Amino acid sequence: MHQGKVINAVGGFFTVLDQEGKKYICRARGALKKGSKTLIVGDEVVFQPLKEPAGHAEGEGIVEKHLPRSNCLTRPAVANVDQVVVVVSLKNPECDWQLISRIAILAEKETLPVVTCFNKTDLITPEQVQQLISSVKPFPYPVLFTSALSGSGIAELINILAGCCSVLAGPSGVGKSTLLNSIQPGLSLQTAAVSGKIGRGKHTTRQATLLPLDQGGSVVDTPGFSRLDFKDLTAPQLADYFPELEKLRGQCGFRDCLHISEPRCAIHEELGHTVNPLRYEHYKTFIQELYLQ
């Protein structure tokens, strides 16, 4: 038996990288297929080799056991990562601010660190970049501004990704694959222009793939998405996954304060100080969604 990590999953076949760096195309044992967990990228597994790799061809095997996960994201579907890098573009397509908060909530549920990467700074003026920097203050997560075209911010992104397993998440067309090609040209990931008709990105990454990085660590390139709903989350729990709101726990006038219209709410007093007004608008929108579920 060998132990390895699932680095790609397509149509019931799983590419597993073993501890010696060999790749095997595996199917899951029948008992695993009947279980409640579906194998996803990042899963640690025990597998039985059936055919050893030869030359550039992968070996073959059967996954016998699915090892416990340290964390798991539902969208993008990936397990056992160290941090989430939310990638959005400043233009073409327009920045989806609300999606940043949605992805961050799912990361917070798994106690994963979040980094926000604003890409395509080459498409706006330096003055607009400065305005954006001002508008995201205060912000609960590290913020990075990048451009694959000019190279701005690429060195900083390399440092952020080095030595850990990261997942890049965000809409289609924001430049996730292009950024990875800039970091490591040998990856040769497919990219495409944003549709001029609908102003949205085209899906060039079809499935999540875990990629090793030359500077150490790895990164999961994932398909883009524009919609993300909350499951297994109730309205009273929501503030727990907004770190800037959670820090003010216990300072409101009422123990069960939802931070909407209640008197003596500590959140209202901190708007523009420790709580970003735009983030608070997202919070109120999500509260309404959760009550309608």
Residue 224 pLDDT exceeds 90: no
pLDDT of residue 226: 64
Answer yes or no: pTM beyond 0.85: yes
Angstrom CA distances, 109 to 40, 42, 143, 280, 285, stand at 18, 18, 20, 18, 18
Confidence (pLDDT) at 199: 47
Domains 2-68 and 235-292 share a fold: no
Q: CB–CB of 224/170 below 8 Å?
A: yes
**What is the residue extent of each domain of the chain?**
2-68, 73-221, 235-292
pLDDT tens-digit readout, 66-99? 999 999 998 889 999 999 999 999 999 999 999 9
CATH topology of domain 73-221: Rossmann fold (3.40.50)
Q: What pLDDT, in 10s, does the model give residues 115-161?
A: 999 999 999 999 998 998 888 889 999 999 999 889 999 999 999 99
CA distances from 266 to 172, 230, 248, 258, 260 (A): 37, 25, 7, 11, 11
* 2-68: CATH number: 2.40.50.140
Which of these CATH numbers, 1.10.630.10, 3.90.1720.10, 1.10.40.50, 3.40.50.1370, describes 235-292?
1.10.40.50
Is residue 193 pLDDT above 80, yes or no? Answer: no
